[in-house]
Amino acid sequence: MPSKNKQKKPKVVSVAYIVNDNNQIFLVRSPKWQNLYIPPGGQIEHGETPEEAAIREMKEETNLDITDLDLLTTTSIIESEKYQDGSSHIISFQHRARLKGDNQEIILDKTEGTSYKWFDPEEAVNSKNVEINTKEIIKKYFCGKKDENMSKSGCESCEDEKRELKQGWQRALADYKNLQKEIEDRKSDWVKMSELQVLEEFIPVYNNFKLAIGYQPSDFNPEQEKWFQGVEQIMKQFGVILEAHEVEEIETVGVEFDPELHEAVGEEESDEYKSGIVIKELEAGYMMKGKVIKPAKVVVSK
Are 14 and 148 contained in the same domain?
yes
pTM of the shown model: 0.47
Domain count of the chain? 3
Query: Cα separation of 281 and 85, whole Å?
Result: 125
The residue among 214 and 243 whose pLDDT is bigger is 243
The answer to whether residues 54 and 18 belong to one domain is yes
Ramachandran angles phi, psi of 15, nearest 5°: -130, 165
Asked whether residue 111 is domain-assigned, the answer is: yes
Asked if the structure places residue 135 within a domain, the reply is: yes
The chain-wide mean pLDDT, for the chain, equals 83
The DSSP result for 121-168, as a single string, is HHHHHH-TTB-HHHHHHHHHHTTT---HHHHHHHHHHHHHHHHHHHHH
Domain enclosing residue 275, as ranges: 247-301
pLDDT at 6: 53
Q: Quick one: which of 102, 114, 139, 108 has its CA closest to 17?
A: 139
What contacts 209, CB < 8 A, 6 or more positions away?
231, 234, 235, 238
Nearest to 264 by CA among 58, 255, 11: 255
Is the residue at 180 inside a domain?
no
Phi, psi of 36 (to 5 degrees): -85, 160
Q: Can you say how many angstroms the Cα of residue 226 is from the centroid of all Cα atoms in its chain?
A: 73
What is the separation of C-alpha 224 from the centre of its chain, rounded to a whole number of angstroms?
A: 76
If asked whether residues 21 and 120 sit together in one domain, one would say yes
Q: Is 177 part of a structural domain of the chain?
A: no
Last residue of a domain, one of 227, 244, 261: 244
Query: CATH no. for residue 112?
Result: 3.90.79.10
Per-residue pLDDT at 152: 47
Residues 211 and 118 in one domain: no
Task: Single out the residue in 95, 129, 152 at which a domain terminates.
Answer: 152
Question: In this predicted structure, which of 2-11, 54-63, 283-292 has the lowest mean pLDDT?
Answer: 2-11
Final residue before a domain boundary, out of 244, 269, 288 = 244
Could you tell me if 199 and 294 are in contact, meaning their C-beta atoms sit under 8 angstroms apart?
no
- Of residues 165 and 34, more confidence is placed in 34
Q: Are residues 238 and 130 in the same domain?
A: no
Q: What is the pLDDT of residues 237-278, one digit of tens each?
A: 888 888 888 888 899 999 999 999 999 999 998 888 889 999
Q: Report yes or no on 213 lying in a domain.
A: yes
pLDDT of residue 89 exceeding 80: yes
Q: What are phi and psi of 243, to 5 degrees?
A: -65, -35
